[in-house]
Copies of this chain bind each other. A is one copy, B any other.
Amino acid sequence: MNYLSINDIDSLSTWVKEAIALKKQPKKFKTLGNDKTIGLLFFNNSLRTRLSTQKAAMNLGMEVIVMNFGSEGWALEYVDGTIMDQGTSEHIKEAAQVISQYCDIIAIRAFAGLVDKELDEAEEVLNGFKTYASVPIVNMESSVGHPLQALTDAITLEEHNFKNNPKVVLSWAPHPRALPHAVANSFIQMMQKQNAEFVITHPEGYELDPNITKDSKIEYNQEKALENADFVYVKNWSSYTDYGQIKSQDPNWQMTLKKLGKAKFMHCLPVRRNVVVADEVLDSEQSLVIEQANNRTYAAQLVLKKILESNEN
């Protein structure tokens, strides 16, 4: 099995329960991954994903090889039939087959470039490995999705009495740089599997891919969207329609305690304080961001455990 998107979860509620059980006994399966190696391939920088996935693999007794492709390797070619006389030194066909021989699982981080929508949506890095590798692939954030984060978020919601049809709001926030859509996309897809009143709020012009948002409610008025929210997930993303552009840095969209009301505050981190969200929110007891980061370990560990177990059969 692969873990490429939130759609690779067969039963979200079961996975969440299993992850919470793992969190209570993280070393229970400490020999499951013995003699198995995971390769963590980073095409972009990372803090939480890198450390938590490494920790998750070690909790399962796996060997971990971390490789930063940019600084330690070289540029890969993804296009079929290319005459490789330019900047790329190795084709994904070879790289993926070769790494599959050294690693029992390959995990990949490769962000959207935010220049060419079609190219980003083709997910050439993730799909290249999926196509040519002979071992399971785990998505550590691709152009389009960040399903380890979304699983983490589902775990965190569950730990905070996510039941009785709560109201969950995904609220766009300003940011000085153009950011990808991956976290928002996967959070939305995860929420669409939940029993909840789910609302997305953002300025006009920040509509996400309609194939992702589907019939999820979009409310352009943030104040209205936040009314009686139980959980508020804040995240910046750049424009999808005017691809990769910054259309607004309106500070009025920053999350504050007043706007948050009694809701719990969530964010995937890293977060820019007093731009995306006010100090008062992050430093309050309503903030779940540190718990979310902790749950990254157990989300990853559950995914790796399932892959290791599926390969045993």
User: Is A10 interfacial (CB 8 A cutoff)?
Assistant: no
- Given the known interface contacts A51-B102, A65-B54, the answer about A289 and B94 at a Cβ–Cβ threshold of 8 Å is yes
Residue of B nearest to A84 (CB): B272
- The answer to whether A103 and B269 touch across the interface, beta carbons within 8 angstroms, is no
User: Is A290 interfacial (CB 8 A cutoff)?
Assistant: yes
- The answer to whether A67 and B86 touch across the interface, beta carbons within 8 angstroms, is no
- Given the known interface contacts A55-B37, A89-B270, the answer about A67 and B50 at a Cβ–Cβ threshold of 8 Å is yes
Q: Mark A48-82, 1 if CB is under 8 A from B, else 0.
A: 10111011001000010101100111100100111
- Given the known interface contacts A58-B63, A74-B45, A94-B282, the answer about A103 and B51 at a Cβ–Cβ threshold of 8 Å is yes
User: Is A158 interfacial (CB 8 A cutoff)?
Assistant: no
- The answer to whether A47 and B82 touch across the interface, beta carbons within 8 angstroms, is no
Interface segment, one of A141-149, A200-208, A240-248, A273-281: A273-281
When all copies of this chain in the complex are counted, the total is 3
- The answer to whether A290 and B103 touch across the interface, beta carbons within 8 angstroms, is no
User: Is A97 interfacial (CB 8 A cutoff)?
Assistant: yes
User: Is A115 interfacial (CB 8 A cutoff)?
Assistant: no
Contacts beyond the supplied A83-B274, A91-B271: 11 A-B pairs with Cβ under 8 Å: A27-B35, A46-B73, A54-B102, A55-B102, A82-B273, A88-B272, A93-B283, A94-B270, A94-B289, A98-B293, A98-B294
Which residues of A come within 8 Å of B, CB atoms? 27, 30, 35, 37, 39, 42, 45-48, 50-52, 54-55, 58, 63, 65, 67-68, 71-74, 77, 80-86, 88-91, 93-95, 97-99, 101-103, 176, 269-275, 279, 282-283, 289-290, 293-294, 297
